[in-house]
């Protein structure tokens, strides 16, 4: 029996520039924490091998400290690791892998192939046929070489590659790096471990994408897992079990707000998420000034509780009622500005109008001891 942990697309060193600094730092740090968790899982499950199917790093060059931290995280599993160069971190002559070799920071139990090759792991009776990328994009199927690569007769034949399975994933179709869907059959592979698609996905009984183990975008394609692959004997159909290892879950919410009841529903929806939630909230609809003030407090409250909350109010408009205006107790020049902002014939960008109206309302409410913020 052979037990393998299949993972991919760690993209260590990724930056999250669209988030606040503290949130971005937490999201980046989680990727290393998850790598340690993968090693611990491999140890706990009695794995014989960990296969990492490309994009270990997020870029072809990386800070020395980041590289050392990544290889330090691999100490959590003392068995063999095979790390593959992908399109984000190709095996360039002056790239991240060459620098790691110069630093001497790659542990002895970690294999990083620099070209298409066979890695014979005699201690566990397995051979890994690896197809690292040596540039960001290639147009030939590097795994075609697997068909003529020989391995010891009693060994498990495991493929390791990074790219797009031909005819399967339209979103990756123009990215190059093609891989034939029938490669496990034509190359007599027991299992072909793939990377590049960031969600776990089965293409065939012997052909899987593991996806990224730590979600990094708002896409519901089942990221956050590694695959535990069990082979009872060479030639046997693999048993593949997804195992959740992710730290954060990303949620893409679209909410239409029209009244207090819809605000209640939004509050309940956000309350159901815990501190590991990363949320993109897209709002539409129409609220009064008082309801906008309530929304502001609601957003502030949940922003402090969730890991990250990004809000797009672009399609949410303010309809200031006469009662709203009366409550603001505006007079003189400010009263005229409020009237102008409410005038639909005023030639103002909608977003600018909303921001100005909200800012003025906040100012007046603070002046009168209200709850504006």
CA–CA gap between residue 42 and residue 50 (Å, rounded): 7
Q: Return the higher-pLDDT residue of 353 and 181.
A: 181
pLDDT band at 337 (very low <50, low <70, confident <90, very high): low
pLDDT for 188 beyond 70: yes
CA–CA gap between residue 75 and residue 106 (Å, rounded): 11
CATH 3.60.21.10 domain residues, the chain? 2-244
Q: What is the pLDDT of residue 368?
A: 42
Backbone angles phi, psi at 338, to 5 degrees: -60, -40
> What is the mean pLDDT of the segment spanning 88-96?
92
> What is the mean pLDDT of the segment spanning 72-91?
96
Q: Where are the beta strands (DSSP E) in the chain?
A: 2-7, 49-52, 81-83, 110-111, 117-121, 126-131, 156-162, 164-165, 178-179, 191-195, 201-204, 207-209, 225-231, 239-244, 249-257, 277-287, 308-318
> pLDDT over 90 for what percent of the chain?
75
> What is the mean pLDDT of the segment spanning 171-183?
80
Tell me which CATH code domain 2-244 carries. Answer: 3.60.21.10
pLDDT for 281 beyond 70: yes
What is the H or E stretch that residue 262 is in? helix 260-271
Q: What is the pLDDT of residue 331?
A: 54
pLDDT band at 342 (very low <50, low <70, confident <90, very high): low
């Amino acid at each position: 029996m052979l037990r393998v942990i299949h993972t991919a697309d760690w993209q260590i060193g990724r930056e999250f520039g669209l988030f606040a600094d503290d949130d971005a730092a937490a999201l980046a740090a989680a990727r290393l924490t998850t790598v340690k968790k993968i090693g611990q899982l491999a140890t706990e499950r009695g794995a014989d091998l960990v296969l990492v199917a490309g994009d270990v790093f997020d870029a072809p060059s990386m800070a020395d400290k980041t590289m050392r931290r990544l290889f330090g995280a691999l100490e959590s599993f003392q068995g063999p690791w095979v790390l593959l160069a992908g399109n984000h971190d190709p095996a360039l002559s002056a790239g991240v892998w060459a620098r790691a070799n110069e630093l001497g920071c790659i542990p002895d139990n970690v294999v990083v192939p620099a070209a298409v090759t066979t890695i014979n792991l005699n201690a566990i009776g397995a051979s890994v046929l690896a197809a690292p990328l040596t540039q960001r994009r290639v147009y030939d199927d590097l795994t075609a070489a697997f068909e003529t690569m020989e391995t010891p007769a009693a060994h498990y034949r495991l493929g390791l590659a990074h790219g797009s399975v031909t005819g399967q994933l339209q979103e990756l179709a123009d990215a190059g790096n093609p891989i034939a869907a029938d490669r496990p059959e034509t190359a007599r592979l027991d299992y072909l471990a793939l990377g590049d698609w960031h969600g776990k996905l089965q293409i065939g009984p012997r052909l899987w994408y593991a996806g990224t183990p730590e979600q990094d975008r708002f896409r519901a394609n089942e990221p956050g897992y590694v695959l535990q692959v069990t082979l009872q004997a060479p030639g046997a159909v693999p048993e593949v079990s997804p195992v959740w290892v992710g730290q954060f879950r990303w949620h893409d919410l679209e909410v239409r707000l029209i009244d207090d009841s819809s605000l209640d529903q939004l509050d309940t929806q956000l309350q159901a998420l815990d501190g590991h939630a990363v949320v993109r909230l897209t709002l539409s609809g129409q609220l009064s000034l008082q309801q906008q003030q309530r929304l502001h407090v609601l957003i502030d409250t949940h922003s402090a509780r969730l890991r990250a909350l990004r809000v797009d109010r672009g399609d949410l408009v303010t309809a200031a009622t006469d009662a709203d205006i009366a409550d603001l107790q505006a007079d003189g020049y400010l009263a005229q500005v409020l009237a102008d902002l409410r005038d639909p014939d005023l030639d103002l960008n909608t977003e600018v109008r909303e921001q100005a109206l909200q800012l003025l309302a906040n100012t007046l409410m603070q002046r009168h001891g209200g709850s504006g913020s």
